[in-house]
Amino acid sequence: MKRGHKLNLLELNRMKRTGEPVTWITAYDAPLAHAAEQAGIDMILVGDSGGMVQLGHKSTNPVTMDEMIVLAQSARRGAPATFIVGDMPQGSFEVSDEDAVRNAVRFVKDAACDAVKLEGGRRVSSRVRAIADAGILAIGHLGLTPQSATSFGGYRVQCKTLESFESTIEESLALEEAGAAGLLLEAMPSEPAGQIARSLRIPVLGIGAGSQVDGQLLIMHDVLGFYADFRPLFAKCYVPQVIDRFRDHLARHADLRRLGREERADGLLTLARLALEEYVGEVRSGLFPGEEYCYPIEPGDLEILERSKYWVKTRELTST
């Protein structure tokens, strides 16, 4: 997307059709949302991961709707011309369709978000339908869903077995049928994620879901190496790759005081923008995610997946 132009749903769908990868990053505050917008990112997610990387909780579950609104408002102030997705935190949509719509409306009215995301498959399809009927774009989230990770044995890579692949593709189709505007897949090998992306008409983006989906999401604090507790296999820190460029940028300016006072381009914000530009460039050129950032699948396990009725159906769909 051109800098200064805000993505819309029609363009997102066109990118899916033409195979132009969508670039997506999380942000929870004004300065880093600004850096992402400057870097030409297509979309920002104000994720409930902000509860961990920004607010310091040990999981995403304690984050409240009120806190999410504050984070989303800050991100919006920093990135006025970027498509922003608000992440519905645990407790904001489970009880009823009405609750889900009320909280989705808060993201749009109070924080000027362009869409919301919610975790879950069939169990949330009536929520997705209700949000879509209220005129708000709803993005689904399947695979590893952190809010309910404990109910399927913790943070595990998904879609490596026939049962997991078939249930994920069935849930994905149910969300599309319910009116989801897009889908996020988390933590699975490229091959099953690619099958799901090719089976759906809506854009299917991935975080740790390999190279065959329609776009990539990463957590800002992983891209910048700004979170000490944990970094998953799929997350790439871009700072080492741009540090020489940052040093050259500083070296080109004899008067560093002026660069700091008048242009404010002598510190972390510039380094963040360079790292984010690198991420955007690598996603658009197909360099990210390389194999080392994708979850592998054993050839024998892949053969089992390839025998799935959904795999055959996908092959038929793509050849017509």
Chain positions contacting ligand KIV, by CB under 6 A? 26, 45, 47-49, 87, 146, 184, 186, 207, 219
How many CA within 13 A on the CB side of residue 259?
15
Quickly count: other Cβ atoms within 10 Å of residue 281's Cβ.
15
Question: Tokens 């194999």, residue?
Answer: 291
Q: Least distance (Å) from ligand KIV to the CB of residue 141?
A: 6
Report the amino acid identity of residue 140: G
Q: How far is CA 188 from CA 154, 179, 261, in A?
A: 14, 24, 46
Q: How far is the C-alpha of 69 from the C-alpha of 108, rounded, in Å?
A: 10
Q: Least distance (Å) from ligand KIV to the CB of residue 53?
A: 8
Alpha helices in the chain (DSSP H): 9-18, 30-38, 50-53, 65-78, 97-111, 125-133, 162-178, 190-199, 220-223, 239-251, 256-261, 268-285, 299-306, 309-319
| Residue 212, C-beta contacts closer than 8 angstroms, at least 6 positions apart | 190, 191, 193, 194, 197, 198
Q: Least distance (Å) from ligand KIV to the CB of residue 230?
A: 12
Backbone dihedral region for residue 173 (phi beyond 0: left; psi -120 to 50: alpha; all else: beta): alpha
Q: Least distance (Å) from ligand KIV to the CB of residue 117?
A: 7
Q: Least distance (Å) from ligand KIV to the CB of residue 2?
A: 26
Q: Least distance (Å) from ligand KIV to the CB of residue 272?
A: 17
Helix (H) or strand (E) holding 185: strand 182-186
Among residues 186, 191, 277, 278, the one annotated as catalytic is 186
Token pair for 180: 């989801």
Compare residues 59 and 167 and give the one whose CB is closer to ligand KIV.
Answer: 59
Which residue lies nearest ligand KIV, judged by its C-beta?
47
C-alpha of 276 from chain center: 14
Q: Least distance (Å) from ligand KIV to the CB of residue 220?
A: 9
Compare residues 88 and 259 and give the one whose CB is closer to ligand KIV.
Answer: 88
Backbone dihedral region for residue 138 (phi beyond 0: left; psi -120 to 50: alpha; all else: beta): beta
Q: Characterize the bridge pairing of strands 115-119 and 22-26.
A: unpaired
Token pair for 253: 């300016």
Choose among 231, 238, 173, 176: nearest CA to 207: 231
Is 186 a catalytic site residue?
A: yes
Q: What are the residue numbers of the active site?
A: 186
